[in-house]
């Protein structure tokens, strides 16, 4: 029987997770689900936790759902620990977005200055969780959703030494569905290979006959007649430059917009900033509406409103990964995992986001090899930036932080890097114990 602990259990995404477990009830012998939060999230935990209990009951299951602020009680003998916490909650994200934008620089949850600060706040917490896990559940799998998921997963594996960590994201699932829909071929009849790092990966697609369909998909999704649709609620739908994507020969992920068409995305973000409608501000209202719904004692299923959040299909990743490990299902998934030579352009010991079956012993990535030169340079810069951010987060090193800011493609180097870093360090000081 399984014990699953979820850290950040007060998240509005929790019903998504519970729905995913219920869908897989025949393959997941769950006994206990522990939702953990902190004092600041107590009310959310109680509201969404009561909703989780109703969902389980409505499904006729006898799973125990525990709500607690005691992380150690939740971790004790857990088989799987999933993480979905946000240090400083949405107010911290608002600062990550608005402070850079107030200087005319992109501010985003996981990219640029904001993403680096989310890493600074989060990495010390994940390493603390791992310290507890070493003592309380040494055999557990850590399923990390906490953003920036790539850097947090790399910190867990490489610095926390927790090899049994899988980093997850819903973005690849959306791209798989998009490809299937555009080609009119069921998703299961297509073969996908994703490679890169979290929120910065590309993919290629083949059909059952072995024909590569990538270029055709580039035409169908990003071609001159198309509207370059983004399936992500949180990313503005600015069109990529078709000729450039065609030249690349791989399908970009939605987040590549921040890099390939940075000026357009910045322009749009500044408009949102001026209206007081950056994504975190919008999400704060969505979240409030969701929690009003969750308070309804008759609501015992995931409400449609949750689709307004960027994380739809979240549970298709988390719950399927758990089911695949538990049953050695070998589901083909995209996971942030140790590179080990999968991508030859990146260090062996770094974390990459790649395709492969999930077995009882974890993710087994398909070999990718090398990137074309047009992708190689930028991914190496991004990974070097991530490694520098992680080092800064752990050591609280100002020089390393400034270096990361200087090399991050979304932060103009020089005086601006320092101004932004200093302002964000002050704004977030309560959540930066290492600095
Ligand atoms: P949220 O603001 O609702 O935060 C979730 C909970 O975490 C809150 O209830 C909060 O109190 C709690 N929390 C904060 N610090 C904590 C700590 N130290 N220990 C335990 N709990 C703590 O956030 P959200 O919008 O639901 O998102 C949750 C996290 O998941 C974020 O980091 C977000 O970026 C991430 N996310 C990732 C993906 C993905 O693709 N990987 C998808 C969706 C969300
Ligand atoms: C996508 C990304 C997540 C991100 C989310 C933001 O799902 O994969 O990593 O956290 O969007 O959604 P939100 O609704 O919070 O803006
Ligand atoms: Mn993601």
Read off the pLDDT band of 224 (50, 70, 90). confident
- Neighbouring residues of 236: CB distance < 8 A, sequence distance ≥ 6: 230, 257, 265, 268, 269
Question: Does any ligand 1 atom lie closer than 6 A to the CB of residue 254?
Answer: no
Tens-digit pLDDT profile for residues 37-73:
999 999 999 999 999 999 999 999 999 999 999 999 9
Task: Tell me if 408 sits within 8 A of 113, measured CB to CB.
Answer: yes
Mean pLDDT, the chain, whole residue set: 96
226 pLDDT higher than 80 = no
Tens-digit pLDDT profile for residues 170-182:
999 999 999 999 9
157's tokens: 């594996």
Question: Does any ligand 1 atom lie closer than 6 A to the CB of residue 146?
Answer: yes
- Kindly report the pTM of this predicted structure: 0.98
Mean pLDDT on 296-320: 91
Identify the helix (H) or strand (E) that includes residue 373.
helix 373-395
Q: Given the DSSP bridges, would you call strands 30-36 and 64-68 parallel, antiparallel or unpaired?
A: parallel
Measured between its terminal Cα atoms, the distance across the chain in Å is: 42
- Neighbouring residues of 366: CB distance < 8 A, sequence distance ≥ 6: 193, 342, 354, 355, 356
- Cα–chain center distance at 263: 24
Q: Given the DSSP bridges, would you call strands 331-338 and 351-359 parallel, antiparallel or unpaired?
A: antiparallel
Residues marked active site are found at 255
Tens-digit pLDDT profile for residues 82-119:
999 999 999 999 999 999 999 999 999 999 999 999 99
- Best of 68, 72, 85 for a ligand 1 pocket test (most atoms within 8 Å of beta carbon): 85
Read off the pLDDT band of 314 (50, 70, 90). confident
- Rounded distance between C-alpha atoms, residue 431 and residue 404, angstroms: 19
- Rounded distance between C-alpha atoms, residue 325 and residue 135, angstroms: 22
What is the pLDDT at residue 255? 97
Question: Does any ligand 1 atom lie closer than 6 A to the CB of residue 147?
Answer: yes
What is the pLDDT at residue 302? 92
């Amino acid at each position: 029987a399984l014990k699953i602990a979820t850290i950040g259990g007060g998240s509005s995404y929790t019903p998504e997770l519970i729905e995913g477990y219920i869908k897989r009830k025949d393959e997941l012998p769950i006994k206990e689900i522990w939702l953990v939060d902190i004092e600041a999230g107590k009310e959310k935990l109680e509201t969404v936790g009561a909703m989780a209990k109703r969902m389980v009951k409505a499904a006729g299951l006898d799973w125990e759902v525990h709500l607690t602020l005691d992380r150690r009680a939740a971790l004790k003998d857990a088989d799987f620990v999933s993480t979905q916490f946000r240090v400083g909650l949405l107010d911290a994200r608002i600062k990550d977005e608005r402070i850079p934008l107030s200087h005319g620089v992109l501010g985003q949850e996981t990219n640029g200055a904001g993403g680096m600060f989310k890493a600074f706040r989060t990495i010390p917490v994940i390493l603390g969780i791992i310290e507890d896990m070493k003592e309380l559940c040494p055999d557990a799998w850590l399923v990390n959703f906490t953003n920036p998921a790539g850097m947090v997963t790399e910190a867990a594996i490489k610095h926390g030494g927790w090899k049994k960590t899988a980093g997850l994201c819903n973005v690849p699932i959306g791209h798989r569905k998009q490809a299937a829909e555009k080609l009119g071929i069921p998703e299961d009849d297509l073969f996908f290979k994703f490679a890169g790092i979290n929120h910065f990966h590309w993919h290629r697609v083949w059909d059952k006959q072995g024909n590569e369909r990538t270029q055709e998909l580039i035409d169908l999704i990003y071609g001159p007649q198309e509207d370059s649709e983004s399936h992500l609620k949180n990313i503005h739908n600015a069109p990529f430059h078709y000729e450039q994507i065609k030249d690349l020969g791989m399908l970009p992920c939605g987040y590549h917009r921040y890099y390939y068409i940075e000026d357009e995305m910045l322009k749009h973000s500044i408009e949102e900033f001026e209206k007081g409608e950056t994504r975190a501000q919008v999400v704060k209202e969505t979240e409030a509406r969701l929690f009003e719904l969750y308070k309804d004692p008759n609501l015992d299923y995931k409400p449609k409103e949750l689709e307004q959040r960027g994380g739809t299909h979240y549970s298709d990743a988390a719950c399927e990964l758990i089911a695949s490990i538990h049953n050695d299902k070998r589901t083909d998934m995209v996971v942030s995992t140790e590179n080990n030579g999968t991508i030859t352009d990146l260090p062996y010991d770094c974390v990459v986001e790649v395709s492969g079956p999930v077995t009882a012993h974890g993710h087994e990535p398909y070999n990718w090899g090398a990137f074309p030169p047009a992708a190689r340079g930028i991914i190496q810069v991004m990974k070097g930036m991530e490694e520098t951010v992680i080092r800064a987060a752990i050591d609280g090193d100002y020089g390393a932080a400034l270096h990361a800011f200087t090399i991050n493609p979304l932060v103009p180097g020089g005086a601006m890097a320092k101004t932004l870093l200093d302002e964000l360090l002050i704004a977030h000081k309560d959540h930066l114990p290492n600095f």
